[in-house]
Amino acid sequence: MSHVNATLTPRTRLRLARLVVEQGWTCAAAAKRFMVSPRTARKWAERYRLEGSAGMADRSSRPHHSPAKTSPALVRQIVRLRWRLRLGPVQIAGRVGVPASTVHAVLVRCRINRLSRIDRVTGEPLRRYEHDHPGSLLHVDVTKFGNIPDGGGWRYVGRQQGKRNRTTTAHRTGDRDRHHGPRLGRTYLHTVIDDHSRLAYAELHTDETAATATAVLRRAVAWYADHGITTERVLSDNGSAYRSHAWHATCAELGVTPKKTKPYRPQTNGKIERFHRTLADGWAYARYYRTETERQEALPAWLHFYNHHRPHSSIGGQPPITRLTNVPGHHI
């Protein structure tokens, strides 16, 4: 294919060839006119004589025979090692006995040279899906965060000061573990996210029981309804709260179809798992909090930022709220 700075394009080749074949110019004179070598002018003139105007088109420079081409069996072996073990070209080359440059060429040709296209846990190709409208599927889950001691946690004050803060807080609350060490407890964050829009809802609680999970679901469905979203399905893992009779009864009462992920397959619920990582980086461990209460009070503002202002890479760099229409407070 002609590049942008090519001296001869198909149209210019045709003009050169016609000067030689039809008007009797010598190859040297035509070559000088178009600032190419006589050999090049002779080539296009001969091709014009044999094929006419069609011969002026670009041709592939690929050779007719490639005796040293990587065999299909070796290609399959390289791809298998890449998928299953997520090895790099150097490691794969050591196993199959070919140069790393050959392995890299195969990976590029198969479009698996970037590990971002491979699941980091299973090594399988990423299978992404998205429901076509808001409310078609809600993902639900629970994530846990250790409570922050008074004075701040070790991430920001250091391990020694963090340990002293834990001891002081436990002495104030009187909460100890079975070895009489300081115990701060955990905060259970119940999260819900819409599959299509990525609009997120979350509540902080002290447990992950079925009673709490069902109450969160009721409020989440009502919250999404206030945003014009009718919930049709809800996807959860196989935790005890989501396998309970109370959960299924609540789903039936709300007119929502409950769905479960396959056991030991969290990738099915990957959108909410990724949201948990964003939540940890953007809120839970984003800055210094003096107390657990201060961190919990910062959650609503961060959720508003996530839903209304934070660009989301999976939906074209727009915030989740932009995938809804006629929502009150859309531009706040």
Rounded to an integer, what distance in angstroms lies between the CA atom of residue 108 and that of residue 283? 38
Rounded to an integer, what distance in angstroms lies between the CA atom of residue 147 and that of residue 36? 76
In tens, the pLDDT along 96-143 reads 999 999 999 999 988 888 776 666 656 566 667 778 889 999 999 999
Q: What amino acid occupies position 257?
A: T
Rounded to an integer, what distance in angstroms lies between the CA atom of residue 286 and that of residue 29? 73
**Mean pLDDT for the stretch of residues 161-175:** 81
- How is domain 138-147+185-323 classified at the CATH fold level? Nucleotidyltransferase; domain 5 (3.30.420)
Which residue, among 109, 32, 34, has the nearest Cα to 76 in the 3D structure? 109
Domain locations in the chain as residue ranges: 10-56, 85-127, 138-147+185-323
Give the model's pLDDT for residue 328: 54
Give the model's pLDDT for residue 127: 66
- Which range has highest mean pLDDT (50-64, 67-81, 172-186, 246-260)? 246-260
- Counts of helices then strands in the chain (DSSP H, E): 13, 5
Report the share of the chain in percent with pLDDT over 90.
Answer: 54
* Phi–psi pair at 136, nearest 5 degrees: -60, -35
- Which range has highest mean pLDDT (81-85, 195-199, 311-315)? 195-199
Is the predicted pLDDT of residue 31 greater than 60, yes or no?
Answer: yes
**Mean pLDDT for the stretch of residues 52-64:** 86
More confident residue, 183 or 286: 286
Calculate ∠ Cα 60-62-68, nearest 5°.
170
Give the model's pLDDT for residue 220: 96
Is the predicted pLDDT of residue 251 greater than 90, yes or no?
Answer: yes
What are the distances in angstroms from CA 33 to CA 3, 25, 37, 38?
21, 10, 10, 10
Give the model's pLDDT for residue 86: 79
In tens, the pLDDT along 37-47 reads 999 999 999 99
**Mean pLDDT for the stretch of residues 297-324:** 91
Give the model's pLDDT for residue 139: 94
In tens, the pLDDT along 178-233 reads 666 677 888 999 999 999 999 999 999 999 999 999 999 999 999 999 999 999 99
Residue pair 20/28 in contact by the 8 Å Cβ criterion: no
**Mean pLDDT for the stretch of residues 268-280:** 89
Q: How confident is the model at residue 262 (pLDDT cuts 50, 70, 90)?
A: confident
| Cα dihedral sign, 169-172-177-180 | positive
Side-chain half-sphere CA neighbours of 54 within 13 A: 2
More confident residue, 267 or 204: 204
Give the model's pLDDT for residue 213: 95
Residue count of the chain:
332
Is the predicted pLDDT of residue 151 greater than 80, yes or no?
Answer: yes
Give the model's pLDDT for residue 299: 95
Cβ atoms within 10 A of the Cβ of 201, count? 21
The helix or strand, by DSSP H or E, that contains position 204, with its residue range, turns out to be strand 200-205
Among the residues of 1-144, which ranges form H helices?
10-21, 27-34, 38-51, 72-85, 89-96, 100-109
pTM above 0.85, yes or no: no
**Mean pLDDT for the stretch of residues 281-295:** 92
Residue pair 293/161 in contact by the 8 Å Cβ criterion: no
3 state DSSP class of 31: helix
What does the DSSP assignment read for 251-309?
A: HHHHT-EEEEPPTT-GGGGHHHHHHHHHHIIIIITSS--SSHHHHHHHHHHHHHHHHHT
Which residue, among 63, 57, 54, has the nearest Cα to 8 in the 3D structure? 57
- For the chain, give the mean pLDDT: 87
Rounded to an integer, what distance in angstroms lies between the CA atom of residue 97 and that of residue 286? 47
Is the predicted pLDDT of residue 331 greater than 90, yes or no?
Answer: no
Residues paired with 139 in a beta bridge: 193, 235
Tell me 180's DSSP state: S
What does the DSSP assignment read for 116-128?
A: GGB-TTT-PBP--
Give the model's pLDDT for residue 2: 58
Is the predicted pLDDT of residue 297 greater than 80, yes or no?
Answer: yes
**Mean pLDDT for the stretch of residues 69-76:** 91
